[in-house]
Chain A
Amino acid sequence: DTAVSQTPKYLVTQMGNDKSIKCEQNLGHDTMYWYKQDSKKFLKIMFSYNNKELIINETVPNRFSPKSPDKAHLNLHINSLELGDSAVYFCASSQDRGSYNEQFFGPGTRLTVL
């Protein structure tokens, strides 16, 4: 069984479009995250939710909006896509919000903006 799953795995779209990436975890974890991995493989946190409450909101353009309908799901909606949004986006989850926890990562969504 997949612990953290993301859809789609690949997303190719034009500049200016709006797209969503979905994430689900079946581990019973309370906390979920979105990370962006750029072309140089640098991994940076974007958002984190704990039991549907936003707890980490890094300096991210407000074109990016996370939504957590329940603690097992965390979706990422991106408006007015730009070339610089091209990256691999990873969802992750952990048992709770503590920094000592292992984070479990999904397989990633490779977003290409043309």
Chain B
Amino acid sequence: AQSVTQLDSQVPVFEEAPVELRCNYSSSVSVYLFWYVQYPNQGLQLLLKYLSGSTLVKGINGFEAEFNKSQTSFHLRKPSVHISDTAEYFCAVGAGGASYGKLTFGQGTILTVHP
């Protein structure tokens, strides 16, 4: 079984500041890692994903994440945030093998960007 912990429930930040949203996972098998974003009253949309290969993954809207196998982490970063990045961010893990499309989500981190 796998689990995901997002270490911060809320992250307030000023516009144009850098931000890091932290995610740790646990799994007994190889994993696929995802970050999704949910804007108010909308469904989730994919920001980026790590399947294999380079541990630094770039996504949409200037976000990137780094897979660290030894620390079982997949932290999301953006060097300079905009007001429009205000949303809730979910880290998710999918496992290989017989788990098929089952994604396990973290509890979410609310990012609030202040002017």
Contacts and interface: CB of A to CB of B under 8 A. Distances in A.
Given A4-B43, A105-B43, A99 B101 contact: yes
B46 A102 contact: yes
Contacts of B49: 100, 102
A97 B94 CA distance: 11
A100 B94 CA distance: 7
B99 to A, nearest CB: 6
Contact of B107 (A40, A90, A106): A40
Interface in B28-76: 32, 34, 36, 41-46, 49, 51
A11 B41 CA distance: 14
Interface residues of A, number: 28
Interface residues of B, number: 24
B102 A99 contact: yes
Contact of A41 (B42, B96, B108): B108
A99 B45 contact: no
B13 interface: no
A90 B44 contact: yes
B25 interface: no
Given A56-B100, A97-B101, A99-B101, A106 B46 contact: no
Interface string A62-73: 000000000000
B103 A103 contact: yes
Nearest to A102: B46
Given A50-B101, A90-B43, A100-B94, 10 more contacts: A41-B107, A41-B108, A43-B108, A90-B44, A94-B101, A97-B101, A102-B34, A102-B46, A105-B43, A108-B41
12 contacts: A41-B108, A48-B102, A50-B100, A92-B44, A99-B94, A100-B32, A102-B46, A103-B101, A105-B43, A105-B44, A108-B41, A108-B42
Interface of B: 32, 34, 36, 41-46, 49, 51, 88, 90, 94-96, 99-103, 105, 107-108
| 9 closest Cβ pairs, A-B complex | A99-B94, A105-B43, A97-B100, A43-B105, A105-B44, A100-B32, A41-B108, A102-B46, A107-B43
